[in-house]
Structure 1
Amino acid sequence: MSEPRWILELLGEDSRSIELPLTGSLVLGSSRERAGFVLEGQGVDEAHCAIGRTKEGDWAVKDLGSRYGTMLNGTRVAAARLKLGDQLVLGSRRLEVRPVQVAAPAVGSARPSDVPQRIGGYRIERLIGKGAMGAVYLAVQESLRRPVALKLLAARLESDRDFVDRFQAEARAAAALSHPNVVVVYDVGAENGAHYLSMEYMAGGSLEQKLAASGPLPWKAVLTVLADAAAGLAYAESRGIVHRDIKPANLMYSGLGTVKIADLGLATTLEQEASEVGEGGRKVFGTPHFISPEQARGAAVDHRSDLYSLGATAYRLLSGKTSFEGATTRDILRALQNDAPRPLRELVPDLPAELDALVRRLMEKEPAARFPTAEALRRECERLRLVAEHGPALEVKRGARAQLGLGLVLLLVVGASVAWYVTRSATTDSGPRERNTAPGADVRADLPQDDGFMLGKPDKTETQSDEEQVLRERERVAAQALRELAPFLAPDERVRGQYP
């Protein structure tokens, strides 16, 4: 008998859900750093409560010392078991415990009879997805008792020795990739002629599955998706990897609600060969609705091609539609090269103008017109998320703080200059020096006293000491300036080691 699967559904206009964990715990709260399922709202603590599985196989909730408490069906609880239909209230947010709804019988069904019950130390539970390379199953790695996603190569590919060799080599290389927004590859192997790849199990399923089950996502949820995916793509960019097949089906929700990129390091060649699209004998790799114009032309691509695909993904997540439609692949690719997509705000009237502009920039036909890097995109997503959370007043407040910071800089610079001038004046003679006009007199005696620094030889030992004091005073004032400005500077703008 299969294990029960429950989800926690957030109620409201930004509705979204997350599957309750089969192992470990799920923290709910307002902090992206401390919570696995982030809730924005009044009265929600950074780490408000946690949900974990009990020894009996069901789930329980525990309050984590929140200010306003965790309400279960109208009663404040410190800890309690959950059942289907229960409602949790955390501050201003309401959630409901529901069963997992299987969208299609083929996915989530029992293990097919022609698939072995065990392979390579994994116990196969059920089918959870299908792709060009084969089927993906929920399995349990018996040695560690952890759930994994187990991909079994399709029979037509198992007979291709060259493909299998490269599949194993690229899987081992992908296993070396490690980032919070990239699906982890655990293992690759073969048993009795069947080839498999085990990966991190993503309990929340793919964004394509989410879209099929619930329809278009709220724009705030899509903004979070974009920020997470951009962080993963920034990591890929740092490793010189171009995914080439970013789409809703390759973006996955973890059991903690984090979006992760699947098949990074594998989609570059293997997925392409297994699922190529093309016309007129020309091979074009990727998924027609999401590939970039340059990728569709068969031209060389870089990380900006993935940014286009992410923009096309956001278009679909927001509207429920693809950016270009067509009866055939040729029609879609022709529209991709020549036409502009239908404006998103016609399909999503409540879409903020800045998010609409962000998606349009991602989907520019010329790579140079897109965001220059995935990190630049991530920063813009974080800025928009903060504005959405705190309102336009945040921008005004940041501008005022920047002006205050500039004022502090000017004030401290003036103060440092005055301090230097006063100290310098104290070291110079108060009266005029008498000129020695005798033959053979040293003309350097007519130079101001502190010009000894220019000649590389100060007039007095005391002068050198005074100059050192001036330098120390300058350093002290500069350090003080940095301490005063630290709250106004972005982390990457601060000078390492110059302030506490």
Structure 2
Amino acid sequence: MGPGRRSGLRCRWSGRILLSKHCGRGTMGQWRACAVARSEHGIGNNFRTRSQQRFQSREVAMEGIMLGPYFVEEQIGQSQWGPVYRAMQTAVNRPVALKVLSADRIAQPGMVDRFLASARQAAKLSHDGVVGVYEVGTDSGNYYCAMELMDGPPLQEFLRKQDQPGHVDEHRLLQMIIEVAKTLEFLWKNRVPHQVPQLSNLLTNKAGHVKMINVHPDDQPASASPDQDREALGVLVATIANQVGLVSQRVGAFVERLMDSESRRRFHSLAEVIAAAEALDRELFPVAPAKVVPPPPVKRRSGPLAIAVGVVVLLAMMGGIIWMARSLWRQSGPASQVRPADAGTMVEVPGGEFIYQNGEKKTLKTFYIDRYEVTIAEYKQFLDASYKTLMREHPFAPARKDHTPANWDLLLRAIQNRTLLNEAWLTWDSPIFGIDWYDAWAYAAWRGKRLPTEEEWEKAARGTDGRFYPWGNEFKDVCGWAGCDQLFRWNSVYQFPGDRSPYGVIGMAGGVSEWTDTSNRRMAIIRGGNWASTNLLVTTRTESAREWRSDRVGFRCAADAEVK
């Protein structure tokens, strides 16, 4: 008998929930629940940690590619089927969790059919407590399942009281019990076979809710009864709570009753669990009644003349305040800058040999490249022209391609009103961003130019001596990009002449990274650092899907002969 339990004597509460009493004996459901809880004890949200994934997954990384209608951003976990990625559904700009069937699983007979069937079955469920499944699909031999993105912390962190270390957030704990019990009740009412609640199938989101995932039992036996679910939930909550910290005696007694399968005090249904948890939550964390504001006293009506005078005075005062505020606001923005005489010009890069990447020697013909990155003002000219005439498009561009950058209306409004966009200043001379590879290609074609190949870009940036930075081999924050002040992340392309290559090309280390013409049917190479990067080496290169858009990527043009 543990501390804090009654045995004829009044004992002091220890702050810990007694598990041995329930895991040491009882029903097979309790024993299984305790085994599951103990085996998962200490593991995070739904998936393994990133460090574990690197050693346990041999999958080829998919970050930066399009998988069906989804742009894959980064791996966030590992499921029983394979890696799980955070992705963006580009058509509607919706973040999702993308579960991909691993190559090892695909090779197993019947596994593809099981994966698709499981996802389709899960998609039929519609409940606030179940993680939504949007669709399943296949692309280039890869099988995927798009799901609701649960972006909250692991359950241990979710239940930790932030303002009182070593204690459990009991309000969240009770809310979690209520939400999971309601989900289980829904599953039983609809006769849906499911796993018992455990760490591997409960996820949290930033809104503070807990939902079940992987409801259908694939490699595990289905729950035998609501009682088994109730006991498993109790063991799980007790295990996590004991790991996180202390709980009050009232909450501890409630959780112990949740695990109880023998005494007369045990809960006899999930509905009883929900009602008891809600009552205890209301008692321990009452909602403050709304403050009633008495109506203002009735005053004697003023004459029409007094009212008119008062309105005029009030409007004048408000106008003066707004004028002063706008004046101060405008003054706090980026200082206006005169465009240099060489704005809009191209630079000749002589043909010949140069050092590429880490020592490889390559030879290029003479070419020309824009001295500066394409600005917002220049790209707007292209858009205005595209509304009046049919533009030349890349052969593989999507049908009826819209070249309007992401958040274009907000961007224009920020410039015209001298307000912030995403807490940063913009000017007409800021580099264009939020465009994909097809947009950059179409703009270059409209100008009678093309995108530079990645080899051309690198030679224009480093010259022939294999230097590390456009200005030499020593790092110097000559352009203010390292640790860039977020308020001025999109500075004018003319702002930092110190970011100059041997040929006089400006902004190849900072500003925005740049699309190049080097690509295949799906992917294209991006070169150079950007305002958010601490790596300004001219050898910096990444590969992304042609349809990808970012506030860190723009472009400049090239040509075989100078275009004025």
TM-score by length of 2: 0.37
Task: Answer 1 or 2: higher relative contact order, Cα 8 Å, separation at least 6.
Answer: 2
Between structures 1 and 2, the one with greater helix share? 1
Between structures 1 and 2, the one with greater strand share? 1
TM-score by length of 1: 0.42
